Structure 1
Amino acid sequence: MAEETKNTKPADEEIEKTAEPTAGEEKHPETEKAESDTAAAKEEQPEKKGFFGKKKEKKDKKDEQIEELTDRLKRQMAEFDNFRKRTEKEKAAMFEVGAKSVIEKMLPVIDNFERGLATLSDEEKEQPFAQGMDKIYKQFVASLEELGVKAIEAEGNEFDPNFHNAVMHVEDEQYGENVVAEELQKGYMYRDSVVRHSMVKVAN
Structure 2
Amino acid sequence: MSKEDMVKEAVEEAKAKAAKEQAEAEETVETEDAQGVEAEAKEATEEATETEGDSEAASEGKKKFFGKKEKKDKKDEKIEELTDRVTRQMAEFDNFRKRSEKEKSQMYEIGAKDIIEKILPVVDNFERGLGSVPEEEKNAPFVEGMEKIYKQLMTTLESVGVKPIEAVGQEFNPDFHNAVMHVEDEGLGENIIAEEFQKGYMYRESVVRHSMVKVAN
For the aligned residue pairs, the C-alpha RMSD in angstroms reads 1.1
Pairing 1:51-200 to 2, within 5 Å after superposition: 60-200=73-213
Equivalents in 2 of 1:60, 1:160: separation in Å?
70
After superposition, the C-alpha distances for 1:6-46 in whole angstroms (9 at most, x for unaligned) are xxxxxxxxxxxxxxxxxxxxxxxxxxxxxxxxxxxxxxxxx
Q: Secondary structure at the match of 2:179?
A: strand
Consecutive unaligned residues in structure 2, runs of 5 or more: 1-69
TM-score by length of 1: 0.71
After superposition, the C-alpha distances for 1:101-121 in whole angstroms (9 at most, x for unaligned) are 000000000000000001112
Structure 1 residue 61: Cα displacement: 1.1
Equivalents in 1 of 2:189, 2:87: separation in Å?
62
Q: Secondary structure at the match of 2:197?
A: strand
Equivalents in 2 of 1:62, 1:177: separation in Å?
79
Equivalents in 1 of 2:118, 2:187: separation in Å?
36
Consecutive unaligned residues in structure 1, runs of 5 or more: 1-55
Structure 1 residue 125: Cα displacement: 0.5
Pairing 1:13-28 to 2, within 5 Å after superposition: none
Structure 1 residue 156: Cα displacement: 0.3
Structure 1 residue 66: Cα displacement: 1.3
Equivalents in 1 of 2:187, 2:113: separation in Å?
36
Structure 1 residue 62: Cα displacement: 1.7
TM-score by length of 2: 0.67
Structure 1 residue 63: Cα displacement: 1.6
Which protein shows a greater Rg?
Answer: 2
| Alignment-mate amino acid for residue 137 of structure 1 | Y
Equivalents in 1 of 2:73, 2:193: separation in Å?
77
Give every structure 1 segment of 4 or more consecutive aligned residues whose post-TM-superposition deviation is greater than 2 Å. none
